[in-house]
């Protein structure tokens, strides 16, 4: 158990819908990262927050947005869902910013999103 929690574990929805994925980082970690992993694909970096502020952005679609709240939990919002959005969405946390062995990322169990 990494100490990172994600809800829900599974989510099945229809095209065109909107969903929210939730992540609680490990106690004391200030950085939260979101990744998308499609079937047999690598981890695609979406976005990173540090202490409530957006710090880095990857290839995140405009239909996707995220935020980190004062209590440091984070939410990833996916809207106008398409079939291709079906994937495992991982949240990870680290004590600070990227780099440094103390900044290894601890991954949550993931949310499996299926868009029908």
Partner 1 sequence: GQNIDQPTEMTATEGAIVQINCTYQTSGFNGLFWYQQHAGEAPTFLSYNVLDGLEEKGRFSSFLSRSKGYSYLLLKELQMKDSASYLCAVAHTGGFKTIFGAGTRLFVKA
**Shortest distance (Å) from residue 45 CB to partner 1:** 6
Beta-bridged to residue 107, according to DSSP, are: 92
114 binds partner 1, rule: CB under 8 A: no
Question: Which of 24, 81, 90, 111 forms a contact with partner 1 (CB under 8 A)?
Answer: 90
Give me the phi and psi of 14, to 5 degrees please: -105, 160
38 touches partner 1 (CB under 8 A): no
How many residues appear in the chain? Answer: 116
* C-alpha–C-alpha distance, residues 19 and 25, integer Å: 20
Part in contact with partner 1 (CB under 8 A); list of ranges 9-17, 20-28, 36-44, 61-69:
36-44
Dihedral class, residue 30 (left if φ above 0, else alpha if ψ from -120 to 50, else beta): alpha
DSSP-derived pairing of the beta strands 31-37 and 44-50: antiparallel
3-32 residues near partner 1, rule: CB under 8 A: none
Binding site for partner 1 (CB under 8 A): 2, 33, 35, 41-45, 48, 50, 55-56, 58, 88, 90, 97-101, 103-110
């Amino acid at each position: 158990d990494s100490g990172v929690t994600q809800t829900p574990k599974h989510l099945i929805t229809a095209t065109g819908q909107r969903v929210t994925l939730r992540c609680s980082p490990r106690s004391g970690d200030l950085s939260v990262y979101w990744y998308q992993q499609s079937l047999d694909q690598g981890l695609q970096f979406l976005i990173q927050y540090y202490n409530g502020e957006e710090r880095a952005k990857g290839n995140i679609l405009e239909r996707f947005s995220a935020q980190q709240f004062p209590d440091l939990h984070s939410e990833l919002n996916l809207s106008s869902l398409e079939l291709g959005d079906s994937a495992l969405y991982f949240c990870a946390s680290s004590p600070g910013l990227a780099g440094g062995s103390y900044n290894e990322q601890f991954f949550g169990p993931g949310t499996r999103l299926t868009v029908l």
